[in-house]
Amino acid sequence: MQSRIKRSEAFLGIHFDFHANANCKEIGKTLTRQMLRDMLEAVKPDYVQCDCKGHPGLASYPTKVGTPVPGFVRDPLKIWREVTAEYGVSLYMHYSGVVDEAAVKQHPDWAARQPDGEPWGQATSVFGPYVDELMIPMFKELVDRYGVDGVWVDGECWGVEMDYSAHARKAWKEATGLDEMPVERGDKHFERFRRFQREGFRKYLTHYIDTMHAYAPGFEIASNWAYTAHMPESVKVDMDFISGDVTPQSALTECLMDARVLAQQGKPWDLMSWSFNGKWGEPGQSTKTAVQLQQEAAVVMSCGGGYQAYFKQKGDGSIYPWTMTVMAEVAQFCRERQPYCQHAESVPQIGLILSTEGYYKHIDKLMRPWGRVYQAMRGVLCNLLDSQNAVDVVMDHHLEKDASRYPLLILPEWEIISASLKRHLLAYVNNGGKLLLIGAYPTRMFKKELKIELKGKPVEQARYVEVNGRMGGAFTTMQEVVPQRGAKVPGWLYRGNEAKGERQPAAVFTKLGQGEIAAVTMNMGERYGSARTTVARDFLQSIVRHFMPDPMVSVSGSHLVAVSLLRQKGALMVNLINTGGPHHGGCYTFDELPPVGPIDISVRLDQSPRRVTLQPGNRRLKWSYEAGILTVKVPGVEVHDIVEIR
C-alpha cells in the first residue's frame, strides 16, 4: 500500500455524495472495486470524499452507532477504503453535521427549536447532546472500523438556526443571567443573542474537532464554509483546512470572490465545483463540460488554492463511470498548473473589504449569505476584474494586522461597518493610504472626512455618467452631495443621456493626512452584478487609476481576462484567466470558450528578469525590459495561462 498525502499538502480531489435516504435499500449493489480503480487511475486524485451521512441523517454504510439506510448488499465504505488505500489516495467522509433529519425525528430533545417551540426542520441544537451522543461516536467508528483520513462536515454554519430550545435557554441564562430570549430585530438584546448563538456554534466546532484530534491525531477535519464568506472571521478553531462548495448557478462569479476570501485566511484551503448545472430542485440536471470545470478550477488555482469537483453517486453508492472521463480531463489541466499555483501567495495590490459587522447585521440567518448580501460586493469585484486589476478580498481582522501593504483599499456598499474598522481605515489614510468608498451609505459614513454635505437621503433613481465622451445609464441608489472646500469632483451624474444640463457629483476626492480618500456616490456593485455596462466599468477604472496611476502589473488586450498576481518560490506569477462564455441566462453547459488576446502585460520590477516564460509548457515569450518596466506579449489565452517571471 502506498503512503497517503495529508490534506494540507493535497491539491486535487473528487467529492461524491448522494445524501442517502429511506429509499436506499440495496446499498453497494453495483459498486465494484474495479469501478473505483478505473476512476483512480483515470483521475489520479490526491484524495476522495465520499458519502457516509447526508442531510436525511441516514448512514450509507452499516453503522453500529447511527441510523443506517434500510438495506445493504455489501459495505460500500469498506470497498472505498480498501481501493483508495491500495492507490495511496486519502479518503474523507461527506458527513452532514448540524443538519440531520433522522436525529431530530428520533431524538426530539436534540432539535434546535423556533421561538414557539416547534423544531427547525432538520437542524440539531449545537447546545444539545447530539454532538456527543451521535456525531463524535460516528467519527470514532469511522476511524476505528475503516481508518478514514478525515471528514468534510456538511450542513454546518449555513444550517445553524436561532435556537430557542431548553439547551440553548440554559446556556443563554448561564452566559448572561437573562431569562428572556429575544425573537426579532428591535427586541432588546437581539444582536447580543445572535452573537451568543454564533459563539455556541464556534464552541460546538471546537469541541468535536479537539476531541477527534486527541482521539486520532492526524484525523483531518473541515466544516463546510466555516471561516469563509459564510462566516467572515479570523480562524479561531483548529480546523485542518477550510473548504466550501460553490453552487452551480453563476459558479464562475462565485469562485472569483470565494477563492479570494479563502486565500487570506491562513489555512490550507480548497473550493469545490458542482460538476452539474440546473435550477434548484429541477430534474434532469446536466453534467458540465470539461472546459466549464477547467475555467472554475483556474479561478481557484490562480488564487493559490486546491480544487475538487462534486459528482453525484447513484442511490446504491456506486458512481457514474462516464463522468470520470470529464474529470480526468479537468485533472490533467489542474496538474499541469500545480507547480505554478499550489501554495502561491498573492501580491497585495487592491484590497476589497468584506465587513464582518456589515455582513452579520445584514443577514437574517446566523451564518447564511444566500440572497442579496454579497450581490453588491461581487458586482464591484467583477467590475474591478473586468479592468484587469489584481484584487484581494480582505476582512476586518486582516486590516487590523497590516492595512498598509495595500496601495488601495475599497469599501463596497456596506450599510454598516464596525467603529473599529472605521478607525483602522482612517489611520490607514492618514498614514498615506488610499481609500475608495463605493455607494451611498459608505459616502454618508465618511461625510466629514470627504468634506461634503449630504443633500437629502439616499434615493433610487436613474442617472447617466460620462466617461471619455460616452454616456452610460444607471438605475440605482444614489446619495446627492455638495462638495465643500478641499473636495474635488472627478465625474458627474446627469439627468439625461448627454453631458449637459442639471448634474450632481458622481464621485468626490479629498486629501486626508498624508493620504487620500474618495467616494463614488452611487451603488455601482449591485447594479453591475445584474446590468453590466462598459461605461460603469470604465468609470470605476478611471477612479482606480487616479489612485494607482502606476500599478505593479497592467494588462490590456481584452476585458474578458481576470488577473491575479502571485509569488511562488521566488517567482512572480501573473495569472491570466479567460472569463468569457455564456455564464448568464439559461445556458447550463457549453463546450466552447473562444480564446482572448493577444494580451499585453507591463510589470514594474527593480531589475531585469532572468527568464520570462508562459506556463504550463515553458513556452517562450517576446519580452523587453527598460526603465524598470518589463513588457510582455502573450499571443492569446484559451482558459488559463501563467506568465512566470524569474
Work out the mean pLDDT of the chain and round it to a whole number.
96
342-379 burial: b if 16+ Cβ within 10 Å, else e: bebebbbbbbbbbbbbbbbbbbebbbbbeeebbbbbbb
Calculate ∠ Cα 561-344-274, nearest 5°.
60
pLDDT at 280 over 80: no
CA dist., res. 63 & res. 547, Å (int): 60
Query: pLDDT tens digits for 74-120?
Result: 999 999 999 999 999 999 999 999 999 999 999 999 999 999 999 99
Helix (H) or strand (E) holding 459: strand 459-467
502-527 burial: b if 16+ Cβ within 10 Å, else e: ebbbbbbbbebeebbbbbbbbbbbbb
CA dist., res. 630 & res. 632, Å (int): 7
Q: What is the DSSP string of 257-303?
A: HHHHHHTTSSS-EEEEEESEE--TT-SS-EEPPHHHHHHHHHHHHTT
β-pair type (612-615, 599-604):
unpaired
**Hey, what's the cell of 323?**
463522468
Other beta carbons within 10 Å of 571: 17
Report, in angstroms and rounded to the nearest whole number, the Rg of the chain calculated over CA atoms. 26
Categorize the per-residue pLDDT at 1 as very low, low, confident or very high, splitting at 50, 70 and 90: low
pLDDT at 585: 67
Query: pLDDT tens digits for 535-574?
Result: 999 999 999 999 999 999 999 999 999 999 999 999 999 9
Contact 613, 619 (CB under 8 A): yes
Query: pLDDT tens digits for 224-260?
Result: 999 999 999 999 999 999 999 998 888 999 999 999 9
Could you tell me the maximum CA-CA distance found in the chain, to the nearest angstrom? 80
**Hey, what's the cell of 472?**
452610460
Question: Mean pLDDT over residues 372-380, rounded?
Answer: 93
Cα–Cα distances (Å) from 220 to 93, 211, 243, 265, in that order, read 10, 12, 12, 17
| Nearest residue to 150 via CA among 270, 36, 261, 233 | 270
Question: Mean pLDDT over residues 498-510, rounded?
Answer: 95
